[in-house]
Amino acid sequence: MKILVSDSLSKQGIDILQKAGFTVDVKTKLSKEELLKEIPAYDGLIVRSGTKVTAEVIAAAEKLKVIGRAGSGLDNVDAQAATRRGIVVMNTPGGNTVTTAEHTMAMICAMTRRIPQATASMRAGKWEKEKFMGVELYNKTLGIVGIGQIGGYLAKLAQGISMNVIAFDPYMAEERARKMGVEVVDLPELYRRADVISVHTPLTAETRSLINAAAIAQMKPGVMIVNCARGGIVNEADLAEALKSKKVAAAAFDVFDEEPVKPDHPLLALENFICTPHIGASTTEAQENVAIGIAEQIVDYFTKGIARGAVNIPSVPPELLPTLHPYLALAEKIGLLQAQLYEGGLERVTVEYSGEVASLSVAPLTLAVLKGLLTPILEDAVNYVNAPVIAKERGIEVKEVKSSDAGDFISVIRVRVEAGKKTHRLAGTLFHKKEPRVIEIDNFQVEVIPEGHMLLILNVDKPGVIGAVGRVLGDHKINIARMQCSREERGGNALLIIGLDAPLPNGVLQTIQSAQHILSVILADLSRAQ
Q: Length of the chain, please?
A: 530
Q: Which residues does 325 contact at the CB level (< 8 Å), separation at least 6?
A: none
The amino acid present at 208, given as its one-letter code, is R
What's the rounded Cα separation, in Å, for the pair 349 and 268?
46
Closest C-alpha among 283, 452, 383 to residue 74: 383
Question: Which residue is catalytic, options 113, 193, 278, 424?
Answer: 278
DSSP annotation string for 268-298:
GG-TTEEE-SS-TT-SHHHHHHHHHHHHHHH
Are 207 and 233 within 8 A, CB to CB? Answer: yes
Q: List the helix and strand counts (H, then E) for the chain.
A: 17, 22
CB count within 10 Å of CB 359 equals: 11
**Packed helices 284-304 and 11-19: angle between N→C axes, nearest 10 degrees:** 20
Clarify whether 48 is annotated catalytic.
no
Clarify whether 230 is annotated catalytic.
yes
Our measurement of the distance from residue 343's CA atom to the centroid of its chain's CA atoms, rounded to an integer in Å, reads 17
Question: Which residue is catalytic, options 176, 230, 308, 394?
Answer: 230
DSSP annotation string for 303-329:
HH---TTBSSS-S--GGGHHHHHHHHH
3-state secondary structure 177-231: HHHHCCEECCHHHHHHHCCEEEECCCCCCCCCCCECHHHHHCCCCCEEEEECCCC
Sign of the torsion formed by the C-alpha atoms of 216, 220, 221 and 222: negative
CB count within 10 Å of CB 315 equals: 18
CA distances from 78 to 291, 431, 490 (A): 21, 29, 46
Question: Which residue is catalytic, options 259, 271, 397, 447?
Answer: 259
The amino acid present at 519, given as its one-letter code, is L
- What are the beta bridge partners of residue 248? 223
Clarify whether 259 is annotated catalytic.
yes
Is the bond preceding residue 505 a cis peptide, omega within 30 degrees? no
**Reduced to 3 states, what is the DSSP secondary structure of residue 66?**
strand
What's the rounded Cα separation, in Å, for the pair 441 and 79?
29
CB count within 10 Å of CB 21 equals: 10
CA angle 134, 137, 138 (to 5 degrees): 125
Parallel, antiparallel, or unpaired for β 435-441 and 422-431?
Answer: antiparallel
**Reduced to 3 states, what is the DSSP secondary structure of residue 486?**
strand
The amino acid present at 133, given as its one-letter code, is M
Backbone angles phi, psi at 293, to 5 degrees: -60, -50
Q: Which residues are catalytic?
A: 230, 259, 278
